[in-house]
Amino acid sequence: MNLAGLTKGYRPLVAVAAPIAGIQLAQVALTTTDLAMMGLLGVRAIAAGGLAVTLYNQLRTMCVGMVTSVGNQVAAAVGRGEARTGGELDETGREEIRRVVRASFLVATGVGIAGALVLIGLSFALTLFGQKPEVLAMARPMMMALAPGLIPMLWLNVLRQFAVGMHRPGSLLGITLASIGVNAGLNAVFIYGLLGVPELGLTGVGLATTSVQVLTFLAFLALVRRDRQLAPLLSVRAWRADPGTVKSVLELGFPISLTYGSEAGITSVATLMMGAFGPAALAAHNVVNQCAYIVYQLNIGLSQGSSIAVSKAVGKGDRAGAGEIARRALTLSAAIMTVLGLVYLIVPSWVLSLFLDPGADRAVTASASTLLLFAILQQYCKGTQNICVGLLRGLGNTKIGFRMTLIGYWCVGTPLMVLCGYLLDLRGPGVWLGLCAGFGATAVLLLRRFRKDLHAVAEVAVRPG
């Protein structure tokens, strides 16, 4: 079989996953730009700003989980509508989609307000976790500036899931790419006080991110309203949301949020542990964690793409196809992680130079170079477990992911982070070794559960009567 024949089976998966991964990468480029700008302000700014961004991402991830099921619900409504007519989406299906979107905007607004309040509260509670006073003094105002941005960010994600469910995931990519340049410009304006704006320093980074979230939402909303397929189905009247549909969004979103939160939580715990080793260790951790976070977005694209593909295959009764989709997603992930791991090994100084100046503190550079090796293993483990979560969601199981993360992250990973980082005095490398173990254990548990659930679905399909 030639190369075209080998790659043909992967094309449908890549067609869905690539635009999603592109959007994810573009969104992460915002925080990556922020981290690069923080590097111009010094090691202490990287430490404080990285801490603020880590906790922001923790809450952002959990909040996004609450509306992640919107895409599946929209896609399911499309499928049912087309099934009723034999090809075209009927009016019943159209109204069902509108109800889902209205309910999702209501959920997004409530969750966004709650998340903003929690982030502000955390900015004061960090004193209880052994963080250095000089780091907290810089991190707190930045977290307050980031907090309001959670609301438009969630509105944007509702629109995004709506577009994904309608099989138009690429429509947001151009706007998200443009927002990177806007973010960089606003960072410069707010940090250095250009164009008559007060000089805000690190706080300006948070304000720039919030401003970009607002602008991106408004731009994508305008784009959706001009789209002939999406505009007739868009309804942002959250106050008219159907209580039953709101309940459905919450019931599906809550376990996803807990799963995402558990995943982000172990990363936040690792960041707090690294902060106890001082600003240099925390800065190195933040830089390497951002490198891994960028790569992780590729796996998120594969996870969401394979989740949608598995749901479609199961809906058609093609269980063998669902298993093949899983194999292809995991194979693609392993191949991509291998290529990027080689980049880390061959040119580590170039990778780190994206975030650290050539004249950066040698202790930071040395620590980051060591942690980059652990990031290679982490990317395999974390990517695999995220894809497995998506595969299980494709089978309709959104609850098991959280249960498995409780075992993998908190019964395996966190104790090992404490043991290796503190008791064995391995410090930063010990913390990352515990991280890898937690993600690896979770990946194994989730993969076994997917195989079991897929087998059970197949048995139901072939059972007589």
- Give per-residue pLDDT as tens, 78-121: 777 777 777 677 888 888 899 999 999 999 999 999 999 999 99
Q: How many CB atoms lie within 10 A of CB 316?
A: 11
- Indicate the average pLDDT of the chain: 83
Whether the predicted pLDDT of 2 surpasses 60: no
Lowest model confidence (mean pLDDT) among 13-17, 103-107, 461-465 = 461-465
Write down the pLDDT at residue 24: 73
Lowest model confidence (mean pLDDT) among 51-60, 66-75, 105-114, 128-137 = 128-137
User: In terms of pLDDT, which residue wins out, 369 or 30?
Assistant: 369
Whether the predicted pLDDT of 163 surpasses 90: no
**What would the DSSP string read from start to end of 275-327?**
HTT-HHHHHHHHHHHHHHHHHHHHHHHHHHHHHHHHHHHHHTT-HHHHHHHHH
From CA 74, how far away is CA 318, in angstroms rounded? 21
- Give per-residue pLDDT as tens, 294-333: 888 888 888 888 887 787 677 656 677 788 888 999 999 9
- When pLDDT is averaged across residues 154-173 and rounded to a whole number, the result is 80
From CA 220, how far away is CA 215, in angstroms rounded? 9
Longest dimension (CA), the chain: 75
**Quick one: pLDDT band at residue 1, thresholds 50, 70, 90?**
very low
The CA–CA distances, whole Å, from 388 to 185, 329, 416 equal 38, 9, 23
* Residue appearing with tokens 């796996």: 299
Write down the pLDDT at residue 144: 92
**Quick one: pLDDT band at residue 170, thresholds 50, 70, 90?**
low
- When pLDDT is averaged across residues 215-242 and rounded to a whole number, the result is 89
From CA 326, how far away is CA 455, in angstroms rounded? 13
Specify whether the CB–CB gap between 332 and 13 falls below 8 A. yes
**Quick one: pLDDT band at residue 462, thresholds 50, 70, 90?**
very low
Lowest model confidence (mean pLDDT) among 41-50, 179-188, 369-378 = 41-50
**Quick one: pLDDT band at residue 171, thresholds 50, 70, 90?**
low
- Give per-residue pLDDT as tens, 440-453: 999 999 999 998 88
Write down the pLDDT at residue 148: 94
User: In terms of pLDDT, which residue wins out, 105 or 252?
Assistant: 105
User: In terms of pLDDT, which residue wins out, 12 or 298?
Assistant: 298
Q: What percent of the chain has pLDDT over 90?
A: 26
Write down the pLDDT at residue 218: 93
**Quick one: pLDDT band at residue 14, thresholds 50, 70, 90?**
confident
Write down the pLDDT at residue 131: 66
Q: Could you tell me the residue ranges of all domains in the chain?
A: 3-462
Residue 354: both structure tokens together? 């994206």
* Residue appearing with tokens 């997004």: 108
pTM of the model: 0.75
Highest-confidence range of 42-51, 124-133, 241-250, by mean pLDDT?
A: 241-250
Highest-confidence range of 272-286, 354-368, 372-386, by mean pLDDT?
A: 372-386
**Quick one: pLDDT band at residue 160, thresholds 50, 70, 90?**
confident
Write down the pLDDT at residue 464: 41
Write down the pLDDT at residue 460: 47
Give the H/E segment covering residue 396. Answer: none
- When pLDDT is averaged across residues 252-276 and rounded to a whole number, the result is 84
User: Closest Cα partner for 369 from 447, 285, 295?
Assistant: 285
Whether the predicted pLDDT of 22 surpasses 80: no
User: In terms of pLDDT, which residue wins out, 268 or 446?
Assistant: 446
Whether the predicted pLDDT of 6 surpasses 60: no
